[in-house]
Structure 1
Amino acid sequence: MIDRRATKPSPTARSRRRRRGSTDGGRGKGPLLWGLAALAVLSTAALAVSGTTPAASTSDDSADEPEAAVDESSRPSPESEPSASRGNEESPDSAPSSAPSASPSIPSTGSGRFTTAGGGSGTVGKGARTLRYKVVVENGLAQSAADVAAQVEGVLADRRGWTADGRSGFKRVSTGSADFVVRLATPGTVDEICGRYGLNTRGEVNCSVGKDVVVNLKRWLLATPVYADDVDAYRALIINHEVGHFLGHDHVTCPGPGKPAPAMMQQIKGMRGCTPNVWPYDTKGRLVTGPRVP
């Protein structure tokens, strides 16, 4: 910015210019001054007629600065705003879509204490090993331990289940030691249990950690959009998938369009062209699988 005060002539310089100007008798200055005065009068009259006033002057250091540009792409729009994230009961890294408005009331957390289903079952499967398991339900839930145990028993006894591998048998117990425990719990309790192993279930999904197959009450009751009309089938998928992890099976993906989705596929992330299926094996005893997920 130019400092106009620094360039203002000194009194000595002005007196010198006046003396130099006096030598020419002021020739040419009179007409010029009269012309400038007349122009100023005409400009003022024109502004008075038009009803406008002169704009306020700007300082030298901002007069030449361009107006700040507005980046329209940075403004949120309905298309660019983040949508509800999706996840799956098999992968704790993401969360499933929102539940329907008519969904049952689900407590966010519970006591962390569990009731074990009484009694037991016979051994199912003819495998070389029989895995003993318990079914427990968090205290205070509307679901009874006996009812949940009956559903888990049915899933593990199905001929399309893991007994079809020819190696695994299952027996539910209520006392003594167990190889694994199926736990139905509130979202907050699931987060606590799975979080001990470094998994972030975010109140939405299930996990299989240590000897625990941890089932989120939200998924048990609401399933996913694909299985919304057959929640029992989705419960079978939860048990088969998480017990599959306990047995050492990793995630796989869809083997091809129109083929059954493997039970070890993260189906909640999308069917990828596969058709719904909740069983590890088909009715002919063939493993339903696909390419392994890296």
Structure 2
Amino acid sequence: MADGWYLREYGRHSDRDEGGADGWGRTVTVVRDPQLATRLPYVAEDDWDERWDDGAYADVTYVRGGFDRVNPHELPPPVRFRSPVREFVRKYGWRAYALPVLVVLTVVALATAKGPEPRRATAATGAVPTRPTAAAPSTPATTPSTSSAPAASASASAQPSAPTLKSYDLPPGAPYTLQGKGTFRVLPGTTRAVGSGQRFTYDIEVENGITGVDLTAFAKLVDTTLDDKRSWSGHGVQLQRVANAADATFHVSLTSAMTVRSLCGYDIAVETSCYDPGQSRVVFNVARWVRGAVAYQGHLDEYRVYMINHEDGHALGHDHAHSCLANGMAPAMMQQTYGLISATTHRACTLNVWPYPVGATDAPGAEDTDTDANNEYYLAG
């Protein structure tokens, strides 16, 4: 068959410049393709008006119509034009669905994200202030509340600020027994004799009715403190704990706050401990044992050691000291419950719980009879 132009619908190697849209809305393409000669009507090159072999004139319109008379199974497969979205999905598979989901999630996250929280100042810890600011002392466990708390104000500026504690005030803390039964019982236990010199014996007692104190730990701390070389034993005295009150030179007793007042007096309206020579009784105020002192806030165990050495010192014949040691420490016989300001020099001493601390050359310090002039209570601020 001579080379010429062949007509095919949606054929390969199509060139839109060689064809055009027919009246039926199809696209007709004129191509050189000898392989289609047996299937499609033939038209000689540049001879669109020549007659076909069946005698009919072959104009373009008639030839186009001839496509409908061709066996559809002999036609090449039609070219399907996909939409851009379907083509994108076919090419990228599941990623085409994941992409818009990720975009939506990103937008939501950006819209709901919050900025960083404002930084808040935090309180420093570690140092023990001599005159800290604290909340008002709380009510002892055995004292009933006499009035209900007022409703909180909506305005922070309307609320009263917490008062500043005096150095002799009882700090806030755990509840304690305000009133016991006024009688004492001996806690079981003994120790070996420690130190050398004048012999003193003691027992350990607790007032009946006191609660909330670990009595085993209380007795152990008394014994280990008096057994320490920095305490009184070994410095001209010998100490030993005994089991019977009748064998004791003095009695170390944990006492309720109201009983303390009856044994020690309350001329100065402050919770204190004392030594009662009439009963040979070292009187530890349970309020101070539980809460300590302002100068020792955060160091309750150290304050308890100070209580033992100070009040037992009275039982051993020592008076109060009113001046700092040469190294600046407060003597164990100074009234540190009132504060750390020397009543004679007005210097601030540093904390010290021992009568004979390491490095102190003038321990236990100069002692003197109490007067209003040398009482640390009047220097408390």
CA distance in 1, matches of 2:306, 2:183: 25
Partner of 2:354: 279
Q: CA RMSD in A?
A: 2.5
Partner of 2:363: 288
Does residue 216 in structure 1 map to residue 285 in structure 2? yes
**Equivalent residue of 1:118, what SS?**
coil
CA distance in 2, matches of 1:201, 1:179: 28
Partner of 2:272: 205
Give CA-to-partner distance per residue, 1:6-50, whole Å, 9 cap, x none: xxxxxxxxxxxxxxxxxxxxxxxxxxxxxxxxxxxxxxxxxxxxx
CA distance in 2, matches of 1:249, 1:222: 25
Q: How does 1:65-80 map to 2 (within 5 A)?
A: none
After superposition, the Cα gap between the structure-2 partners of 1:171 and 1:258, relative to the gap in structure 1 and judged at 3 Å, is closer
CA deviation after TM superposition for structure 1 residue 146, in Å: 2.8
Give CA-to-partner distance per residue, 1:121-142, whole Å, 9 cap, x none: 11111x2222110111112322
Partner of 2:339: 270
Partner of 1:157: 227
8 Å CA contact 1:113–1:138 kept in 2: the answer is: yes
2:315 corresponds, among 221, 246, 262, to 246
8 Å CA contact 2:255–2:284 kept in 1: the answer is: yes
Q: Is there any run of 5+ residues in structure 1 with no aligned partner, and where?
A: 1-82, 88-95
After superposition, the Cα gap between the structure-2 partners of 1:169 and 1:269, relative to the gap in structure 1 and judged at 3 Å, is same
TM-score normalised by L of structure 2: 0.47
One-letter code of the match for 2:193? T
**Equivalent residue of 1:267, what SS?**
coil
Q: How does 1:92-171 map to 2 (within 5 A)?
A: 96-100=168-172, 103-125=173-195, 127-140=196-209, 141-165=211-235, 167-171=236-240
Identity %: 34
8 Å CA contact 2:170–2:294 kept in 1: the answer is: no
CA distance in 2, matches of 1:137, 1:161: 23
Aligned residues: 197
CA distance in 2, matches of 1:286, 1:161: 15
CA distance in 2, matches of 1:287, 1:162: 15
CA distance in 2, matches of 1:241, 1:116: 21
More helix by share: 1
Give CA-to-partner distance per residue, 1:25-78, whole Å, 9 cap, x none: xxxxxxxxxxxxxxxxxxxxxxxxxxxxxxxxxxxxxxxxxxxxxxxxxxxxxx
CA deviation after TM superposition for structure 1 residue 218, in Å: 0.7
CA radius of gyration, larger in: 2
**Equivalent residue of 2:206, what SS?**
strand
TM-score normalised by L of structure 1: 0.61
After superposition, the Cα gap between the structure-2 partners of 1:113 and 1:162, relative to the gap in structure 1 and judged at 3 Å, is same
Give CA-to-partner distance per residue, 1:176-230, whole Å, 9 cap, x none: 42100011011011112224xxx64646111111111000001111111221111
8 Å CA contact 1:264–1:289 kept in 2: the answer is: yes
One-letter code of the match for 1:99? P
CA distance in 1, matches of 2:227, 2:360: 14
8 Å CA contact 1:164–1:285 kept in 2: the answer is: no
Give CA-to-partner distance per residue, 1:81-120, whole Å, 9 cap, x none: xx99957xxxxxxxx31422xx111221111122211021
**Equivalent residue of 2:194, what SS?**
coil
CA distance in 2, matches of 1:255, 1:99: 24
After superposition, the Cα gap between the structure-2 partners of 1:248 and 1:98, relative to the gap in structure 1 and judged at 3 Å, is closer
Q: Is there any run of 5+ residues in structure 2 with no aligned partner, and where?
A: 1-162, 342-347, 370-381
One-letter code of the match for 1:107? T
CA distance in 2, matches of 1:286, 1:258: 8
**Equivalent residue of 1:131, what SS?**
strand
Give CA-to-partner distance per residue, 1:144-179, whole Å, 9 cap, x none: 4432211100110111000141x2111111114210
Which structure carries more relative contact order (alpha carbon 8 Å, separation 6+)?
A: 1
8 Å CA contact 1:132–1:171 kept in 2: the answer is: yes
After superposition, the Cα gap between the structure-2 partners of 1:287 and 1:99, relative to the gap in structure 1 and judged at 3 Å, is same
8 Å CA contact 1:261–1:288 kept in 2: the answer is: no
CA distance in 2, matches of 1:276, 1:111: 35
After superposition, the Cα gap between the structure-2 partners of 1:285 and 1:191, relative to the gap in structure 1 and judged at 3 Å, is same
8 Å CA contact 1:135–1:145 kept in 2: the answer is: no
After superposition, the Cα gap between the structure-2 partners of 1:117 and 1:160, relative to the gap in structure 1 and judged at 3 Å, is same
Partner of 2:97: none
8 Å CA contact 1:188–1:203 kept in 2: the answer is: no
CA distance in 2, matches of 1:113, 1:287: 40
One-letter code of the match for 1:128? G
